[in-house]
Amino acid sequence: MVKITFYEHRNFRGRSFEFYSDSPDLSSYFNRCNSIRVENGNWILYEQPNYEGYQYLVRRGEYPDFKHWMGYNDAIRSCRLSPQHHGPFRLRIYEKEDFQGQMMEFTEDCPHVYEQFRFHEIHSCNVLDGHWMFYDEPNYSGHQFYLRPGEYRRYTEWGAMHPKIGSFRTVQY
Query: Do 63 and 104 share a structural domain?
Result: no
Q: What are phi and psi of 134, to 5 degrees?
A: -90, 145
Query: Do 66 and 95 share a structural domain?
Result: no
pLDDT given for residue 85 in this prediction: 83
The residue range of the domain holding 140 is: 90-170
Query: Do 47 and 73 share a structural domain?
Result: yes
Query: Do 76 and 13 share a structural domain?
Result: yes
Tell me which of 56, 81, 106 is where a domain ends: 81
- What is the rounded CA–CA span in Å between residue 98 and residue 123? 8
Query: Do 65 and 16 share a structural domain?
Result: yes
Tell me which of 24, 53, 81 is where a domain ends: 81
- What is the rounded CA–CA span in Å between residue 47 and residue 37? 17
**In this structure, what DSSP letter does residue 13 have?**
E
Residues with Cβ within 8 Å of residue 19, at least 6 apart in sequence: 3, 4, 5, 6, 79
Query: Do 95 and 68 share a structural domain?
Result: no
Residues with Cβ within 8 Å of residue 136, at least 6 apart in sequence: 142, 143, 145, 160, 162, 164, 165, 166
Of the candidates 164, 159, 163, the residue with the CA atom closest to the CA atom of residue 146: 159
Please count the residues of the chain.
173
pLDDT given for residue 84 in this prediction: 83
pLDDT given for residue 24 in this prediction: 98
Q: How many domains does the chain have?
A: 2
CA 120 to the chain's CA centroid: 19
Query: Do 97 and 66 share a structural domain?
Result: no
Query: Do 111 and 47 share a structural domain?
Result: no
CATH number at residue 113: 2.60.20.10
CB atoms closer than 10 angstroms to residue 161: 10
- What is the rounded CA–CA span in Å between residue 50 and residue 52? 6
Tell me which of 54, 81, 108 is where a domain ends: 81
Beta bridge partners of 110: 168
Q: Which residues of the chain are modeled with pLDDT < 50? A: none
pLDDT given for residue 133 in this prediction: 96
Query: Do 97 and 73 share a structural domain?
Result: no
Pairing of strands 100-106, 3-9: unpaired
